[in-house]
Structure 1
Amino acid sequence: MDEVVEAVEKAKKEWDEAYAKTQAHIKAIENYGKSREEKEKSSNSLQRLNGLAQDGLNLLNSLHLKLDLLAPQLPTSDQVQSAQSLLQSWKKECNNLRLSLRNANLQAKANMRKAAQEERELLLGGGEESTIRRRNLQTKAGMTSAAESITESLRRTRQLMVQEVERNASTLMTFDESTGVLRKAESEYKGHRSLLMRTRNLLSTMQRQDIIDRVLGY
Structure 2
Amino acid sequence: MRILIAEDDAETAGFVERGLTELGHVVSRVGAGEDALHVGTTETFDLVVLDRMLPGLDGVEILKRWRAAGVTTPVLMLTALGGIADRVSGLDAGADDYLVKPFAFAELAARLAALGRRPPISDVVTRIEVGDVTLDVLKREVRRGGHEVHLQPREFALLEVLMRHAGKVVTRTMFLEQVWGFHFDPQTNIVESHLSRLRSKLNRGFDHDPIETLRGIGYRMRPHD
- Shorter-chain TM range is under 0.3
| TM-score, length basis structure 2 | 0.19
TM-score normalised by the chain length of structure 1: 0.20
Which structure carries more strand by proportion?
Answer: 2
